[in-house]
Structure 1
Amino acid sequence: MSSENNSNTVTEEPLHCPGPESEDAGTGDACNSCNYQQTCSSNNNLPKVEDPDIQLIKDNLSNIKNKILVLSGKGGVGKSTFSTLLAFLLSSDPDLNIGLLDLDITGPSIPKMIGTMSDTSNAQLHMTSNGLIPNYVQDNLATISIQYLLPNIDDAIIWKSAKKETMIKKFLKDTLWSDLDFLIIDTPPGTSDEHILINKLLNKTQSVTGAILITTPQEVSLNDVRKEINFCQKVGIKIMGLVENMAGFVCKNCNRKTDIFKATTGGGESLCKEFNIPYWGKVPLDPRLGVCCDQGESFVDLYPESEATLCLVDIVENLMDQCEL
């Protein structure tokens, strides 16, 4: 049956949702097929009221020089691992102050990787009359995560979007960060509520410095990263660079390199050429890295001469160049 005779066929894909707070709410291309078109159109006629949390967030983040989003289109590509390695490596410079924000509300993994959570116990946030005191891994590296607020380490977070939004706002406006050179924001996979909210809040206060995209070499990962690139372009997030994670395994005994995840279509480097974004290189697989994450140890401190660490050093140099540090 041809598409012309099939009434269920959508001949043209709608564009992305403009959002209920947008001036185009209820009138955008995507709104014509949306069940909430009438609601958004009605809300758009109401007077706009500025969110009172915006000014609080702006004031609280005014002492942070660079806010870096770590994004991936899918799970399992090592995004949280990379965020942790980046925080450890940046904080190895005693002149830099680093914050690490775990924005994955339903699947927080940063506390385990950073060493503030064991199999049986979990660090807790100290709440004062002035705000939340983050957990300090070392003098110049502070972290915050929903995990620190759970009474039991295995408790599940079963929240709708509104409650997630409240918690993310609390992290941004109530956390007592010191003067930071970098705030690394580890996000969940995809392009969902958390991503839209963090971008909206930071752009209304102090814009996001940029995003680092994480992928693995195989096409199934690259397809999802293409969606992430599209998301960044639509919401105006600068893509600072793309990192190809788990790119090859080098045997420590014979030094032979094996591509565990084969780049059947050219991998991350080809993708960067396709979209004209900076390619920041490959980080190879290293079994010792998984052990360090499980034990909450700094891989870059324990294995400074490893190929993975050397690749990460190059990535940090690219980051510092773009941030003019």
Structure 2
Amino acid sequence: MEKLRNLINITDLSTQEIEELIQVADDIVARPEHYQDICQHKKLATLFFEPSTRTRLSFEAAMLELGGSVLGFSSANSSSAAKGESVSDTIQTVGNYVDIIAMRHPKEGAPVVGASRTSVPIINAGDGGHFHPTQTLTDLLTIHRKKGRFDHLTIGLCGDLKFGRTVHSLIEAMTRYDSVEFVLISPNELQIPNYLKHLMDEAQVKWSETTDLETALPALDILYMTRVQKERFFNEADYIRLKDSYILDLDKLRHAQEELVIMHPLPRVNEIATEVDDDPRACYFFQALCGKHIRMALILFLLGITTGGTQNV
């Protein structure tokens, strides 16, 4: 019997496995009819103890387009967690009903607890300020489709780098590729955690910190914007003081490369002006579409389902 595979952190996947997932995601776009019934009679549980739009709905759309079905809840208040049930008990129970689980939780490490008790594959759909590996797969697919490579890129990460789990996961993923450089753009209070600085140093990845977005822009191949997350702050006054630290508009983009790729995990508040949406460099809504395709490929991978086509998961 094969060992059960879960996805808790992006590093649970090798770079070769990521490349295979990207191949399958691209094949899904090229041959959607081949995949429409491939998960027939399979069920996905979406256990979202924390609000979500894109992640939850893209998981649900992914499973439905594969011919499977979906059940679950969209907030802790609509589950037995409101009665005090533990994550462990919820996972053990739901594992009796479904074939695979996607779980989001506000507490760091909750998916690890769930994975220790699960009888079916579990996917971390975001745990507090920790990791968000399927968003990282989404980001990687977007980068691959827009740039055609993962190496020799200068990536600007802007906004909330302290609590931004999408940023943390993307750094972990990209440090495995050659000649990647990070420019970390944030207020001093929202700088990247030290353990990620140590990770980049150990991987011999170049990185620098700045508080000035406009100065950093000309050198960037990719700009990854993030919102300042109100839900991660203990002090509302700090949030109000920092929330408008960076606002990307067309005037700032005059100094950026013509081939710049502007990304954002969404939702945005006002850190990207809506006037940027029509700029050909804006890729964040395309990024959301990539999320559905890569989650389709991931579901097949974790369920051990081969595509039977030119690419196998």
> TM-score normalised to the size of structure 2?
0.30
Larger Rg: 1
> TM-score normalised to the size of structure 1?
0.29
